[in-house]
Amino acid sequence: MREISTSIYTFANLRQHNCLYVDKTRYVYQLLREAKGQFFCARPRRFGKSLTVSTLKAVFQGRRELFEGLYLAGTDYDWPVHPVVHIDFGRYDNSTLALMETSLRDEMLETAKKYDVELEGDSAAIMFKRLIRKLYEKYACGVVLLIDEYDKPIIGHVEDAGDAEAFRGALESFYQIIKGAEAQLRFVFLTGVTKFAKVSIFSKLNNLTDISMSEDYATMFGYTQGELEQNFSEYLEAVVQAGTRDNWNRVMDRGLLLSGLRSWYDGFCFAPGCETVYNPVSIGKFFYNKAKFRNYWFETGTPAFLLKLMTGKQMLLTDMVGASLSDESLATFNLADLAGERVQPQRVLQLLLQTGYLTLDGEEVQNGMSYYILRFPNGEVRSSFEAGLLTAYNYETDPYAYVYKLGRAAKSGETGQLIELLREFFAGLSYDIQVKQEKYYQSIVYTIFRMCGMEMQTEVTTNIGRIDGVLDTEGHLYIIEFKLERSAAEAVAQIDTQKYAEQYIRPAREKGQRVHALGINFSYEQGVRNITDWQEKILDY
């Protein structure tokens, strides 16, 4: 079996070390067919953007030997050699403008030295412009520009509006060189996590083709189901032959293994209606770690800034269930909207989509406008994000120890213990992020139960009312009504008079579940802001 590398991210090194490489050169060929193509593609982190850039670099260096056996080698591409300027903002020190400028200047000088041209200039932008011209003149062919993580300096400072704008301005003067040098360029490819509509690279590079949501390139990054089963067939078979057990202690045959992989790591969709893909880092680490289902992608970088934005806006999981964004809102996404105190929840959703914590679930058209329906990509992202969100709301809580205790209480019907654990969480919830709304507390409880891996429905409509929450566990089913500044007895009475449990009694009895009518009352009073009383009624009729 070819080795799976979790530490090599350049195409040449992967091929030279005979590591497993999923052939994506069909998409490279599509890009190369345009005589003077200029492309941009946004993808979440750890999705193979840098690998794609290094693949393009090897192509334009004429390193055909690296592509033996791959799709591109069997095409009519004639492998001309071009000078390549490769800029990777992910490798630079972007902590200050001065250090970023120094990194860019050093990159220009190193590239000039590699191609044996003299280079001078007072700024990175001027040196960039001169480098392109001199390479074009010396080699009498178009220059190739490959820019990776173009938005890294901006994202790194987006919490500070002043710093973010300063970096945006500095990059504007650098990126605008590309437009002026068009006649000297053969190919341009830029990657990043986000597309900021008002960053000048998009306002001035009007000939840049954005393939981020193109159907033709929807599966260029990540692994399709077919690619997974074909390229990792030996690893899949080895897992089955070893009698490996999953997280529920079940011995995995091929069907159970593939089902687990789909549930945990598949589901990213980058164009409406297109095939979903697996995160490549998660798949690589899964096999590297002897088929352990864990949250590998999330571990590579906790989205602290995203979580901070969400808690600041009192956003919860219920805000993301069935969330949607218009095509127009994505096209007008502005970096400045993320800075300062007045961040709109819709902007947070846009950022969650672009960074991979949400993905496309479908497209609807209303009044001539397209809307994208959003969802979590898979179990890995959802469970990890839920844990991170709870920790952001209550940093004193160990999410995984808490999950175990709360889950055990709910599944065994120990309602008193369940309530005490909920009180424990709310006691550690910062007072300045709480909202005097019944729905807010309902949403927090929903998030907690979801994080515990339990199914909870909210706002369940009946023929005569609406149930606040239905928690379905293995042996117990809870019909829950929440109140704010009222009483738990009133909540239980509402469940009874509105006949909320009627539709659940027979199915629960057939499954051997006990049905609980549970009323929970919260208080927003200063010094309380927690559950003040609760009451339950066991429904045996």
For residue 383, is it within any domain? no
The predicted structure's pLDDT at residue 302:
53
50 and 190, same domain (yes or no): yes
Same domain, yes or no: 189 and 90: yes
Query: Which residues, including other chains, have CB under 8 Å from residue 374's CB and lie 6 or more apart?
Result: 320, 322, 323, 324, 325, 349, 352, 353, 358, 359, 360, 361
Asked whether residue 456 falls in the same domain as residue 535, the answer is: yes
Instruction: Check residue 172 and give its pLDDT.
Output: 83
In a domain, 28, yes or no: yes
**Confidence category of residue 186, pLDDT binned at 50, 70, 90:** very high
Greater pLDDT, 314 or 526: 526
Which string of DSSP letters, residue by residue, matches 119-161? ---SSHHHHHHHHHHHHHHHHSS-EEEEEE-TTHHHHTTTTSH
In a domain, residue 3? The reply is no
Q: Is residue 204 over pLDDT 80?
A: no
Q: What is the pLDDT of residue 161?
A: 73
Higher pLDDT, 2 or 257: 257
Query: Comparing 36-40, 190-194, 452-456, 511-515, which segment has the lowest mean pLDDT?
Result: 452-456
If asked whether residues 65 and 152 sit together in one domain, one would say yes
pLDDT tier for residue 337 given thresholds of 50, 70 and 90 = low
> Would you say how long the chain is, in residues?
541
Percent of the chain residues topping a pLDDT of 70: 91
Burial of 176 (0-12, 13-18, 19+ CB in 10 A): middle
* Bridge partner list, 471: 456, 478
Joined tokens for residue 417: 């213990």
- Answer for the pair 361, 269: CB distance below 8 angstroms, yes or no: yes
Q: Tell me the pLDDT of the chain averaged across its residues.
A: 88
What pLDDT does 147 receive? 96
Give me Rg for the CA atoms of the chain.
Answer: 27
531 neighbors 486 (Cβ within 8 angstroms):
no
* 382 located within any domain: no
Compare 428 and 190 and report the one with higher pLDDT: 190
d(CA 178, CA 92): 20
Helix, strand, or coil here: 278?
A: strand
The backbone torsions φ and ψ at residue 362, rounded to the nearest 5 degrees and listed phi first, read 165, 175
Residue 522 belongs to what H/E stretch? Answer: strand 514-523
Residue 23 near residue 230, CB atoms below 8 Å: no
Give residue-wise pLDDT tens across range 376-402: 999 898 877 877 777 777 666 676 788
Distance of CA 70 to the CA centre of its chain: 29
Q: 67 — alpha (psi -120 to 50), left (phi > 0) or beta?
A: alpha
Clarify whether residues 456 and 517 are in a common domain. yes
Structural domain that includes position 457 = 394-539
Confidence of residue 436 (pLDDT cuts 50, 70, 90): confident
Q: Whole-prediction pTM value?
A: 0.85
4 domain residue, yes or no: no
Q: Considering only residues 414 and 456, tell me which one the structure prediction assigns the higher pLDDT.
A: 414
Q: Average pLDDT, stretch 178-203?
A: 81
Final residue before a domain boundary, out of 160, 184, 215: 215
Q: Considering only residues 179 and 132, tell me which one the structure prediction assigns the higher pLDDT.
A: 132
> Is 388 part of a structural domain of the chain?
no
Mark whether 50 and 117 lie in a shared domain.
yes
State whether 284 and 154 are in the same domain. Answer: no
The dihedrals phi and psi of 70, each to the nearest 5 degrees, come to -100, 165
* Rounded CA separation 296/358 (Å): 17
Based on the domain organization, do 412 and 526 belong to the same domain? yes
Token pair in block for residue 191: 């990657």
Q: Which two tokens stand for residue 148?
A: 């990776």
Structural domain ending residue among the three candidates 347, 375, 403: 375
What CATH number corresponds to the domain at position 129?
Answer: 3.40.50
Q: How many CA atoms lie within 13 A of 312 on its CB side?
A: 17
Q: In 473-513, at which residue ranges do the beta strands (DSSP E only) sit? A: 476-484
| End-of-domain residue from the set 258, 279, 299 | 299
Please tell me the predicted confidence (pLDDT) of residue 404: 83
In a domain, 220, yes or no: no
Q: pLDDT tens-digit profile of 283-320?
A: 999 999 999 999 888 766 555 667 767 766 666 666 77
pLDDT(173) > 90: no
- pLDDT, residue 231, reads 97
Predicted confidence at residue 399, as pLDDT, reads 67
Q: Which helix (H) or strand (E) holds 372?
A: strand 369-375
How large is the average pLDDT for residues 417-446? 83
Look up the CATH number of the domain holding residue 398: 3.40.1350
Does 40 share its domain with 141? yes
Average pLDDT over residues 150-171: 82
The answer to whether 484 and 445 have CB atoms below 8 angstroms apart is no
Q: pLDDT tens for residues 316-333? A: 666 777 788 888 777 777
Q: What is the pLDDT of residues 78-123, one digit of tens each?
A: 999 999 999 999 999 999 999 999 999 999 999 999 999 999 988 9
* CA–CA dist 168, 154 (Å, integer): 6
Between 297 and 235, the more confident residue is: 235
Greatest mean pLDDT among 5-9, 367-371, 420-424: 420-424
State pLDDT tens for residues 473-521. 988 999 999 999 999 999 999 999 999 988 898 999 889 999 999 999 9
Are 354 and 503 within one domain?
A: no
Structure tokens at 260: 């687990």
Q: How many domains does the chain have?
A: 4
Residue 342, pLDDT score: 66
- Cα 143 from Cα 435, distance rounded (Å): 56
Does pLDDT of 373 surpass 70? yes
- Assess whether pLDDT exceeds 70 at residue 522: yes
Residues 89 and 211 occupy one common structural domain: yes
User: Do residues 358 and 338 both lie within one domain?
Assistant: yes
Where b means 16+ CB within 10 Å and e means fewer, 11-41 reads: beebbeeeebbbebbebbbebbeeeebbbbb
Contact 339, 158 (CB under 8 A): yes
Q: Is residue 411 assigned to a domain?
A: yes
198 has a pLDDT exceeding 60: no
